[in-house]
Chains A and B, each alone.
Chain A
């Protein structure tokens, strides 16, 4: 059971990659990108997890508790990457809205004015 989160993270990344490579709808591409991101975030959190651990919220952790704490670094990294992911997703969605307004479609095959 210990590997379960890693398997799920892997599945999410694969699903996201599949979406990015084979789907043609702009919104679906956004979903794919954020699926991959979620997968990696899950991977990070699972890395630092410790069975029956406690949350690492201390300024100065008492030594007795330090062994039972979940690792703090991966959690800090995950929080940061969630924030960055939010910014990217919001931008992508707003771009999709403008592209739809301009071209009247969400199909990437029809959004092809730039060539070369």
Chain B
């Protein structure tokens, strides 16, 4: 199973590039198929027992010591859904055939990295797959040529280079102090921790904070998201930043930190800082994509904060918020793509009263923003509730209060977005605007439907998604 998940996207890249020039329109169909398979694989891994022993000869040659568990399955599910949404957006908004071909290829390469991250069992392999994802993303940002794109990508690449050095030196220090780098060995070593081991873990966490754009390492995120073309920002916001930063943190917190104290405090402080700083930065933005990017910083803070709470509940809460946010944020970026396509601008001060002209976009945006702000009965409410409960159980009352109060700021900036973009009288220059095409509405409506259904059917969904983990 694990070998398949790496080989299929990789072989798909090879096949795409062997296609004759005329047949390259099929690239999107093939990539879509791979992503659909990925989504299916997440369910197969969870519900169906398949005997994979016939793969043993292949695994002996290509084994990386990978294995898939529930948490990894969740990442596969997110990657599949978000990837399909990004492809649909890309089909509408990328004008040139060569751009679309590159996009499909690079999404597949990033998918190899993401699938790897879902299954790693040691820190060095984690580092390698994080880098694979990152290199594909660097090129994705610069897909549409222009100065902005390269400026945004530049900051990301330089900070990523620093992050990878942090992770690599952490791996070296762990080799020195623990003698091994598999998650189990590190966990054993952390039971009787030495200073050097903690320094190493702290370095690795710092590297992941850069990748996940948590305060104080959030500088690159808004520039990269704004510079990237619409489908790429859907893909990045939905899955890339989350897989390479936040999911890796989830993995480390769940399988080696074990709720030990200095590590927990790092997570709590960084999480709370990100929530507050990200929310207030979002409040001050007038570019729609920039506001969404800072809102991402804030929401990633929630996930990290949850990991600092009571361990068992915290992981469930973090995983759920991870899923909810991947869905809602990629949907909001798809909405932004629709608005940019119709209005030709993302400056919210120039918009106003679009709701009357683009009702579907306005409606789906409202669902996603209210879900992220944590209003019942949408999906975002439940995961935030679980996060606060996890903090309460760990007796971190102050941090629980931060989580609740910051929700108000979240609501404030999203209401400001709604008011400036959708509400009020339609400005005369937008009187002739039409609703976005079906190609852009399908992903938005589908993702909004997931948010609503998951919110209403939450008690059932929790059991299905996490195998009764709560």
Name A residues whose Cβ lies closer than 8 Å to a Cβ of B. 13, 20, 26, 29, 33, 36-37, 40, 43-44, 47-48, 73-74, 77, 80-81, 84, 87-88, 91-92, 95-96, 98-99, 102-103, 111-114, 116
Contact = CB atoms under 8 A, between A and B. Distances in A.
Given A33-B158, A91-B135, A92-B157, A114 B164 contact: no
A3 to B, nearest CB: 13
A111 B172 CA distance: 36
A44 B170 CA distance: 10
Contacts of A81: 164, 168
Contacts of B139: 91
Given A33-B158, A95-B157, A116-B222, A88 B227 contact: no
B375 interface: no
B147 A103 contact: yes
Contacts of A92: 154, 157-158, 161
Chain B interface extent, by class:
35 or more
A37 B164 CA distance: 9
B150 A95 contact: yes
A106 B4 CA distance: 44
Contact of A116 (B131, B150, B158, B285): B285
B209 interface: no
Given A95-B154, A96-B154, 4 more contacts: A37-B168, A88-B135, A98-B145, A114-B152
Contacts of B284: 116
B239 interface: no
9 contacts: A33-B158, A44-B175, A81-B168, A87-B135, A91-B157, A92-B158, A99-B151, A111-B151, A112-B151
Nearest to A97: B150
Contacts of B290: 116
A99 B227 CA distance: 14
Given A43-B172, A80-B128, A116 B287 contact: yes
A75 B164 CA distance: 17
A84 B131 contact: yes
B189 interface: no
Given A44-B172, A111-B151, A116-B287, A88 B223 contact: no
Contact of A88 (B142, B164, B171, B222): B164
Contacts of A114: 148, 151-152, 223, 226-227
Interface in B137-180: 138-139, 142, 145-148, 150-154, 157-158, 160-162, 164-165, 168-169, 171-172, 175-176
Nearest to B285: A116
Contacts of A99: 147, 150-151, 154
B151 A113 contact: yes
A95 B284 CA distance: 30
Given A36-B165, A99-B154, A113-B148, A91 B175 contact: no
Interface of B: 124, 128, 131, 135, 138-139, 142, 145-148, 150-154, 157-158, 160-162, 164-165, 168-169, 171-172, 175-176, 222-223, 226-227, 284-285, 287, 290
Main secondary structure of the interface of A (DSSP, over half): helix
Contacts of B153: 95
Contacts of B175: 44, 47-48, 73-74, 77
Contacts of A102: 146-147, 150
A98 B139 CA distance: 13
A77 B128 CA distance: 10
A27 B119 CA distance: 37
B140 to A, nearest CB: 12
**Considering residues A74, A87, A116, which has the most beta carbons from chain B within 10 angstroms of its beta carbon?**
A116
A67 to B, nearest CB: 16
A48 B150 CA distance: 39
A6 B158 CA distance: 25
Contact of B161 (A33, A80, A96): A33
Contacts of A95: 142, 150, 153-154, 157
A25 to B, nearest CB: 13
Contacts of A74: 172, 175
B150 A36 contact: no
A84 B147 contact: no
Contacts of A91: 135, 138-139, 157
Nearest to B170: A40
Contacts of B157: 88, 91-92, 95
A87 B128 CA distance: 12
Contacts of B145: 98
A37 B161 contact: yes
Nearest to B294: A116
Contacts of A88: 131, 135, 157, 160-161, 164
A43 B169 contact: yes
Contacts of A80: 124, 128
B176 A47 contact: yes
A103 B160 CA distance: 23
A34 B171 CA distance: 18
A73 B182 CA distance: 12
Contacts of B124: 77, 80
A23 to B, nearest CB: 12
